[in-house]
């Protein structure tokens, strides 16, 4: 197939105003179409989308967090609006294509890939500041040269694009997708707490495994043990040369994930979540703030911290459980 594919970026959004302008300004430089599925945002996200001519804004009216539903919604809309030869590029709003990407050999090879090809990219994490990053020896499947195959996602932590058994994977090593998530570690901590509570509600994981998976200490200490390197200027320069602000970071004390957790407290009670590793956060202060801005479906009672004895027991049980798992797997680093 000699036809140059259309590049269709598909992105779910919920209260992403802090980064959305940057994302859309950059993405408009290389995408033929940007499909945004907004899920009941209460910030300026929908208004920002309307400032960009390549954006098609659709509504995800679901009140529940469900990655499967939103991915299917986005892919179906992309196929409906762009029936011709295309690449589906599934990016979150905090994932920004490096300015050097479109000038690489890898970008050209991506455009020549055959339908049914999975495209994988590195996502270096900016950490605390745009000037430093953490590189990972992982390539993420974020693109698909579309052949119409059914996508079979999961509700949480789903691969975003189809990955049929027959699909070859092409690793585009010289195209970087710069991840801004850990530039605001407080926001990432909110996500960890939310995912832990969500998996509790969905009963998708054993409680002690969930504690280890969303260990708040691992989030920060794990990053601090990694090797940092300076962020290459070519990731930003090309975009900054045309007036796109790549460095300003907007922070906020509370995130939408925190308010979602409060809603789960309201629905299920606080005690259900005592074993989750979410109690290094001042939920009562968050609740009072939510009340002050008129938020509904949150607890009317004071949220007390998890009893310390329960936290100590839960931590000890988690350590023992992980030790036993490693023992039976023959792991020599039992306590690492």
> Quick one: 245 exposed, middle or buried, by C-beta within 10 A (0-12, 13-18, 19+)?
exposed
Rounded Cα distance between 46 and 39, Å, is: 10
Segment 93-104 mean pLDDT? 98
Do residues 21 and 47 touch, judged by C-beta distance below 8 A?
Answer: no
Do residues 12 and 37 touch, judged by C-beta distance below 8 A?
Answer: yes
Do residues 127 and 113 touch, judged by C-beta distance below 8 A?
Answer: no
At residue 69, φ and ψ (nearest 5 deg) are: -60, -45
Rounded Cα distance between 102 and 180, Å, is: 20
Q: Residue 97 forms beta bridges with which residues? A: 177
74-83, 219-228, 274-283: lowest mean pLDDT where?
Answer: 219-228
At residue 118, φ and ψ (nearest 5 deg) are: -90, 130
Per-residue pLDDT at 261: 98
pLDDT tens for each residue of 122-136: 999 999 999 999 998
Alpha helices by DSSP H, 113-160: none
Listed in sequence order, the residues at least 6 apart from 253 whose beta carbon sits closer than 8 Å to its beta carbon are 186, 289
pLDDT tens for each residue of 245-283: 999 999 999 999 999 999 999 999 999 999 899 999 999
| Prediction pTM value | 0.92
Domains of the chain: 6-182 (3.90.550), 186-329 (no CATH)
The helix or strand, by DSSP H or E, that contains position 19, with its residue range, turns out to be helix 17-27
Q: SS3 for 291-327, per residue? A: HHCCCCCCCCCCCCCCCHHHHHHHHHHHHHHHHHHHH
């Amino acid at each position: 197939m000699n036809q140059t594919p259309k590049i269709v970026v598909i992105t779910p959004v919920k209260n992403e105003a802090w980064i959305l302008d940057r994302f859309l300004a950059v993405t408009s430089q290389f995408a033929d179409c940007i499909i945004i599925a907004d899920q009941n945002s209460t910030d300026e996200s929908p208004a920002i989308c309307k400032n960009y001519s390549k954006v098609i804004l659709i509504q995800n009216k679901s009140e529940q967090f469900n990655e499967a539903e939103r991915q299917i919604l986005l892919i179906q809309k992309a196929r409906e609006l762009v029936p011709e030869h295309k690449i589906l590029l599934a990016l979150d709003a905090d994932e920004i294509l490096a300015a050097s990407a479109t000038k690489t050999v890898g970008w050209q090879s991506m455009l020549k890939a055959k339908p049914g090809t999975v495209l994988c990219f590195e996502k270096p994490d900016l950490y605390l500041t745009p000037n430093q990053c953490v590189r990972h020896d992982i390539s993420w499947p974020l693109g698909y040269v579309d052949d119409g195959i059914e996508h079979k996602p999961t509700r949480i932590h789903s691969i975003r694009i189809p990955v049929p058994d027959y699909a070859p994977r092409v690793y585009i090593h010289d195209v970087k997708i710069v991840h801004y998530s850990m530039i605001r570690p407080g926001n990432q901590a909110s996500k960890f707490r939310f995912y832990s509570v969500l998996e509790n509600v969905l009963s998708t994981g054993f409680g002690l495994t969930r504690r280890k998976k969303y260990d708040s200490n691992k989030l920060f200490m794990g990053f601090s043990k990694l090797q940092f390197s300076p962020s290459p200027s070519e990731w930003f320069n090309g975009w900054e040369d045309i007036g796109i602000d790549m460095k300003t970071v907007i922070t906020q004390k509370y995130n939408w994930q925190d308010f979602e957790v409060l809603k789960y407290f309201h629905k299920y009670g606080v005690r259900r979540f005592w074993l989750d590793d979410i109690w290094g956060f001042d939920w009562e202060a968050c609740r009072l703030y939510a009340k002050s801005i008129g938020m509904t479906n949150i607890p009317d009672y004071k949220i007390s911290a998890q009893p310390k004895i329960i936290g100590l027991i839960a931590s000890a049980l988690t350590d023992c459980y992980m030790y036993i798992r490693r023992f039976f797997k023959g792991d020599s680093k039992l306590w690492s």
